Amino acid sequence: MNARIRILVSVALISLFVPVAQAQLDVGGDLLDNCGQIDALQSAGNFSEARDKARLCLDGIERQLLGELGQYFPQQVGAWMRTGYEENQMFGFTNIAAEYEKDGVSVDVALTGQAGGGDGGPLGGLGGLFGGIAQSAIGSSGQQVTVAGLASSVQPDGTLMVPLEDGSFLTFSSYEFDNPSDALAGMGDLVNDFPVAEINAALQ
């Protein structure tokens, strides 16, 4: 088979597969558009499609909630300035993380919860693995503290963990501090001024 024939055969094969690839791509609207379609599909007995729409609807609600929770990670907390921010969902978990800096010291603040499942607040709550780990850590190691009325602890490595009432949790950590005493002295004012109570209430 000469080069010209090989090219023609390749083009013909590509033309066969391109329509199939395009047919698989269905560009929809906003994820929340799926919410209004669930009842009609369920009433018509299309339970499989209704389930798929419900999953997309839930994903859209969680993404919207992420944006709303972002307001509780303000640009400035006391003397601390926010220098980084990101939010994402991965492997069924939702995470909002921000970096705050003061006098050359950086502290990472993260809110972690389970997406699309569990009982409790809008993030779904951790109720399972990570929630259990956080609660276990409070009772078994570290220095016991209370943050916004919530039983919390500063771990031996200086990480401060605040389990929230829906099962998700906040952590404050910095490479600058590797023990509870230094952590409390170095970032205690950030923890004290951070809107922990507001976040806890928003997740109920």
The verdict on pTM exceeding 0.75 is no
The structural domains of the chain, with segments of one domain joined by +, span 3-65, 73-202
**pLDDT at res. 196:** 96
* Residue partners of 159: CB distance under 8 A and separation at least 6: 171, 172, 173, 183
- pLDDT score at 173: 97
Name residues of the chain where pLDDT drops below 70.
1-32, 58-68, 90-92, 114-141
Res 12: pLDDT: 43
pLDDT of residue 60: 61
Q: Given this model, what pLDDT does residue 185 score?
A: 96
The pLDDT, as a whole number, for residue 45 is 87
Distance separating alpha carbons of residues 172 and 152, to the nearest angstrom = 11
